[in-house]
Amino acid sequence: MQSPVSNPMENGNWKNPVLVSGNVYRIDGDSATVYYDAAQKHLVKMEQNNDKTNTLITFEYNPSTKQMSAMRMSIMIESKETKIDMEFSKYQSSKNFPDRFFDF
């Protein structure tokens, strides 16, 4: 069974980019549509739609480091929505981990 959040950029046919606004381009593919910010050189969001699943993934970046700081997913399977928010942190040592990382 194929995961609804698999990487669609790895295969398929992609059309030429179309300017949406500012520096953001939409690129339509066989299995997804991606939005790319040419000035910042990173993905803004990705949409995947198939028979039973619709997925929207948005990407957030740290303005000072230009690295991805968060990824937010909304997955609709039939009429049920699941949201997943991931925030990325980088620590040089485990002693710097906030205690909240271990609260479940």
State pLDDT tens for residues 29-75.
988 899 999 999 899 999 998 888 899 999 999 888 888 889 999 99
Which pLDDT score is estimated for 2? 45
Mean pLDDT of 80-84: 93
For residue 34, CA distances in Å to 20, 94, 98 come to 11, 35, 34
What whole-number percentage of the chain has pLDDT above 70?
A: 76
| Residue 80 CA, distance from chain mean position | 20
Q: What is the pTM of this model?
A: 0.74
Phi, psi for 86 (deg, rounded to 5): -120, 125
What whole-number percentage of the chain has pLDDT above 90?
A: 44
- CA 89/CA 79 separation, integer angstroms: 33
DSSP annotation of 56: E
